[in-house]
């Protein structure tokens, strides 16, 4: 057999990896000590060309299928890991065939759910994770993607201005259709409910789940949260023909949820006294696209919402409401955002990504002002945050040095 590396942009450094050795036996000096989630396959993180990639050992046909599916999802602008390539034709030192490997890029500042809970966060952490997962699942269903193995284990989470943003990691069982039936969507939701309950029970048994959190009750929330969001994005709405303001109201509600409406269907009933409105095309990322257009900052949706709010406060505080929005945005970027993020010492920049750091500085500034009873200049808030808050936070750029014994890779049976 001949080793074959299939990749859109192959890295010559891939040839230096020990492909003739089973993945679970790879030497420690090639691995990055990142927290790993539960997987039915062997997964390792590897340092390569100054970055980190994830290597998953699976059958060649499955590896090729998942690689192509992840590429399609990326082209459709869905939140998922970036596929790098597939390695096939592996044999060990005795000439025996080894499974293929799927290569994906490590998502910086992301954590598996077990690592999130290991930080002993607030009791509502599970709810915030499920909110993020519900948004991800709705986005995938809107483009016709049936996941087939929805779970916290198959998702990575990044902080998003106090909430979380979810990214699909495992597309092995996924199928892409023109549209999903209600039965297909409900099947995905039921899989999610069962898997999440089991995952939270596992955390409970490990003593990691916050006290008082009911795994079954929490898992049921994915059902209600998904259905509420799906209804808001897709259901018909009827109103009297004189209430045309309701069209704008519906669009504003969707924008508040972080979705743009590219196309609406509006029709009247037989006698023309009532109107029917239905969103035809919705696209996630309303706030992040607006911030990107104004400032060039490419951040998560809730982070963008928070930064835009601060931009609006800056506009009002400097009495520049009448000026061009892009000019004011440039001034805010150069006078507020960039000086704040540049103030972070290089040794602490791996704690959180810049937009999340800025969000936390704003939160800290508000708490300081509340405690002191007066406004606090942002440079004072930054200094106080750097002294008292940021040094105690874990490094989330890569979480190198994490005790992986605390977060073991276990094997789960295929469904």
Residue 228, domain member (yes or no): yes
Query: Which pTM was predicted?
Result: 0.79
3-state secondary structure of 82: coil
Residue 406: helix, strand or coil by DSSP? coil
Give the strand pairing for 155-160 and 163-168.
antiparallel
Number of folded domains that form the chain: 4
pLDDT for residue 1: 61
Inter-residue contact 391 to 408 (CB < 8 Å): no
CATH number at residue 147: 1.10.510
Residue 406: inside a domain, yes or no? no
Statement to judge: residues 162 and 60 lie in one domain: no
Provide the pLDDT for residue 122.
Answer: 64
Phi (first) and psi of residue 344, to 5 degrees: -75, 125
Beta-bridged to residue 165, according to DSSP, are 158
DSSP conformation letters of 182-195 = HHHHHHHHHHHHHH
The residue out of 199, 217, 234 marking a domain boundary is 234
Residue 278 and residue 381 in one domain: no
- pLDDT tens track for 267-286: 887 776 777 777 777 778 88
Between CA 6 and CA 140 the distance in angstroms is: 26
53 shares its domain with 134: no
- What residue has token string 């201005």? 161
Virtual CA dihedral for 9, 13, 15, 19, nearest 10 degrees?
A: -100
Whether residue 366 sits in one domain with residue 324: yes
Instruction: Give the SS3 label for residue 270.
Output: coil
Examine the domain organization and report whether 250 and 276 are in the same domain.
yes
Hey, what are 204's tokens?
């409970």
Residue 410 included in any domain: no
Residue 267 in domain: yes
pLDDT of residue 120: 57
Largest interatomic CA distance in the chain: 80
Half-sphere exposure of 316 (CA within 13 A, CB side): 5
* pLDDT value for 36: 62
**CA gap 40, 58 in Å, rounded:** 10
Final residue of a domain: which of 284, 311, 343?
A: 284
Q: What's the alpha-carbon Rg for the chain, to the nearest Å?
A: 24
Residue 184 falls within a domain, yes or no? yes
Give the CA dihedral 355, 357, 361, 366, nearest 10 degrees.
70
Q: Are residues 319 and 331 in the same domain?
A: yes
Question: Where among 77, 106, 135 does a domain terminate?
Answer: 106
Q: What is the DSSP string of 23-80?
A: GGG--GGGB--------SS-EEEEEETTEEEEEEEE-HHHHHHHHHHHHHHHHTT-SB
The reply to whether 48 and 95 lie within a common domain is yes
CATH of residue 15's domain is: 3.30.200
Rounded Cα distance between 276 and 274, Å, is 7
Q: pLDDT tens digits for the chain (415 residues)?
A: 688 999 988 889 999 999 999 999 999 888 887 666 566 789 999 988 888 999 999 999 999 999 999 999 999 999 999 999 999 999 999 999 999 999 999 988 888 888 888 765 566 788 889 999 999 999 999 999 999 999 999 999 998 887 889 999 999 999 999 999 999 999 999 999 999 999 999 988 888 888 888 999 999 999 999 999 999 888 888 877 777 777 888 888 888 888 887 777 878 877 767 777 777 777 788 889 899 999 999 999 999 999 999 999 898 888 888 889 899 999 999 999 999 999 999 888 888 889 999 999 999 999 999 888 888 899 999 999 999 899 888 776 654 433 333 333 333 433 3
> Is 166 in the same domain as 245?
no
Helix, strand counts (H, E) of the chain:
12, 13
Q: Name residue, tokens 């006078």.
A: 335
Q: Within this chain, do residues 279 and 293 fall inside the same structural domain, yes or no? A: no
What is the Cα–Cα distance from 409 to 191, expressed in whole angstroms? 22
* 119 plus 131 within the same structural domain: yes
Q: Which residues of 295-308 are buried (b: 16+ CB within 10 A; e: fewer)?
A: bebebbbbbbbbbb
pLDDT in tens, 112-144: 888 888 765 566 788 889 999 999 999 999 999
Report d(CA 19, CA 158) in Å as an integer. 31
Residues 143 and 204 in one domain: yes
Instruction: Let me know whether 194 and 257 are in one domain.
Output: no
Classify residue 216: in a domain, yes or no: yes
| Whether 262 contacts 275, CB under 8 Å | no
pLDDT on residue 400: 40
Q: 209 is written with which tokens?
A: 């789940």
Classify residue 401: in a domain, yes or no.
no
Which domain range does residue 181 map to? 111-234
């Amino acid at each position: 057999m001949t080793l074959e590396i299939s990749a859109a942009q192959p890295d010559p450094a891939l040839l230096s990896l020990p492909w003739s050795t089973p993945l679970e036996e790879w030497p420690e000096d090639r691995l990055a000590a990142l927290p790993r989630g539960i997987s039915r396959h062997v997964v390792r993180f590897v340092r390569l060309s100054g970055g980190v990639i994830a290597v998953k050992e699976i059958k060649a046909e499955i590896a090729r299928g998942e690689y192509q599916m992840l590429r399609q999802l990326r082209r459709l602008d869905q939140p998922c890991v970036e596929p790098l390539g597939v390695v096939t034709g592996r044999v060990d030192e005795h000439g025996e065939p080894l499974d293929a490997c799927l290569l994906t890029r490590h998502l910086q500042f992301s954590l598996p759910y077990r690592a999130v809970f290991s930080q002993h966060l607030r009791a509502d952490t599970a709810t915030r994770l499920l909110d993020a997962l519900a948004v991800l699942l709705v986005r995938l269903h809107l483009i016709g993607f049936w996941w087939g193995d929805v779970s916290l284990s198959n998702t990575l989470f990044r902080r998003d201005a106090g909430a979380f943003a979810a990214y699909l990691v495992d597309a092995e069982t996924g199928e892409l259709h023109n549209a999903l039936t209600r039965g297909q969507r409900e099947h995905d939701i039921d899989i999610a409910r069962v898997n999440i309950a089991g995952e939270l029970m596992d955390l409970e048994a490990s003593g990691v789940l916050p006290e008082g959190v009911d795994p079954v009750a929490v898992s049921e929330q994915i059902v209600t949260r998904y259905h509420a969001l799906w209804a808001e994005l897709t259901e018909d709405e009827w109103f009297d023909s004189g209430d045309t303001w309701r069209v704008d109201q519906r669009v504003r509600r969707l924008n508040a949820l972080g979705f743009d409406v590219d196309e609406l269907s509006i029709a009247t009933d037989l006698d023309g006294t009532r109107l029917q409105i239905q969103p035809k095309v919705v696209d996630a990322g309303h706030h992040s696209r607006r911030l990107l257009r104004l400032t060039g900052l490419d951040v998560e949706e809730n982070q963008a919402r928070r930064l835009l709010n601060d931009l609006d406060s800056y506009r009002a505080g400097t009495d520049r409401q009448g000026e061009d929005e892009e000019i004011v945005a440039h001034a805010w970027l150069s006078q507020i955002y960039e000086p704040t993020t540049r103030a972070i010492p290089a040794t602490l920049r791996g704690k959180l990504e810049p937009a999340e750091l800025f969000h936390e500085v704003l939160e800290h500034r508000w708490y300081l002002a509340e405690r002191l009873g007066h406004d606090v200049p942002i440079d004072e808030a930054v200094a106080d945050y750097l002294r008292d808050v940021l040094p105690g936070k874990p490094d989330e750029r890569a979480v190198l040095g994490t005790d992986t014994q605390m977060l073991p890779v276990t094997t789960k049976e295929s469904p």
